[in-house]
Amino acid sequence: MDLRHLKAFKAIVDLGGFRKAAEHLGYAQSTITSHIQLLEEELGSPLFDRLGRKTILTETGRRFMPYAVQFLQLYQKVKEVPGNEDFPTGTLTIAAPESLTVYRLPPIIHDYKQRYPQVEIVLKPSPNRESLNGLRTGDIDLVFLLDKEWTEPDLVINKLANEPMMVITSPAYHARELSAETLPDLVEETLLYYTEQGCSYRMLFERYLQENRVFPKTSVESWSVEAIKQCVMCGLGISLLPYIVVKSDIEEGKLVGVPWKERHSVATLMAYHKERWLSPALQAFVKMVKQHSVWNDNLVGVEGASLPFIAT
């Protein structure tokens, strides 16, 4: 069974068609078609149904898919055999949301590359749990999330740190304690949300407002937490973001922030597949993450403050 045929098969499944798979792998489409035909001849059954412009797996294709993934993962393991714990090689594919990619991971990646320069690191944007599918298909080695704690039977999920949340506003506004009496006035505020529906802290804020029957008249959505910060600085409205994202801006006086003290909490989580062989490169990265001091930020002054209400 030719490795190229398995790569072609997986690429078609992942990308949704023969043309996209050919472009991704750098082959002519006719070559990809030939690879699949040879694979189907060897298995004695078609792997795909072509319905108009759609390419979908047959029952044989669905049953064959996990074995193809295992074959490709085994090949990757064989490539990494020459490596060892002291001098790992290979590629690590890591998925993480913007907040962690910008504010948590860079110091760790810097130290890791200094120690293990032969390992290539690929960072993929990952705002929510959809990236966990990449662990199951073998496309991603390690996932970082900002989420509540939970478990999955096939994954190892480590909690690295609680992430305090901050309600933020422009310094031009006056902040005072939010109470049952002042809560309805949030209706007059513009709320800025992170666009991704799977974002835990967006859901946190929305749930809180819904539970208190507060339905603001206006809202603004953005795909970027950096864009949200800039909008808040300009006085456009208020938002809820992780403390790590706004820490320096608050210290510099660009934003006013008061801790969120609701019962719903957010944590930084690290996940990898329970049955995946941990290469020396991956073992070294996981170990460095757990030991790195970046997860132990000094949060003095964050705990014990009041959640603000931004007066109109």
Sheet holding 218-222, edge to edge: 218-222, 190-194, 238-242, 165-169, 256-259
| Whole-number pLDDT of residue 307 | 38
| Whole-number pLDDT of residue 178 | 46
Question: What whole-number distance in Å separates Cα of residue 240 and Cα of residue 218?
Answer: 15
Shared domain for 244 and 100, answered yes or no, is no
- Domain containing 107 — which CATH number? 3.40.190.10
- Domain termination residue (choose one: 50, 79, 108): 79
Positive or negative: CA dihedral 290, 293, 295, 299: positive
Residue 144 located in a structural domain: yes
Residue 23 located in a structural domain: yes
| Whole-number pLDDT of residue 262 | 65
Residue 84 located in a structural domain: no
Residue 258, beta-bridge partner list: 167
Spell out, as residue ranges, where the chain has pLDDT lower than 50: 177-179, 297-312
Shared domain for 242 and 277, answered yes or no, is no
Shared domain for 149 and 284, answered yes or no, is yes
Shared domain for 243 and 288, answered yes or no, is no
| Whole-number pLDDT of residue 305 | 40
| Whole-number pLDDT of residue 181 | 57
Shared domain for 109 and 59, answered yes or no, is no
| Whole-number pLDDT of residue 122 | 92
| Whole-number pLDDT of residue 312 | 34
- Domain termination residue (choose one: 79, 108, 134): 79
Question: What whole-number distance in Å separates Cα of residue 92 and Cα of residue 259?
Answer: 35
Residue 117 located in a structural domain: yes
Residue 85 located in a structural domain: no
Positive or negative: CA dihedral 103, 107, 113, 119: negative
**Considering its fold, how many domains does the chain have in total?**
3
How many residues does this entry show for the chain?
Answer: 312
- Domain termination residue (choose one: 79, 100, 123): 79
pTM value is: 0.68
Shared domain for 103 and 248, answered yes or no, is no
Shared domain for 231 and 125, answered yes or no, is no
| Whole-number pLDDT of residue 254 | 92
Which residue segment(s) compose the domain that 174 sits in?
Answer: 165-263+301-310
From residue 43, give the alpha-carbon distance in Å to each of 63, 66, 141, 181. 12, 15, 30, 70
Shared domain for 213 and 248, answered yes or no, is yes
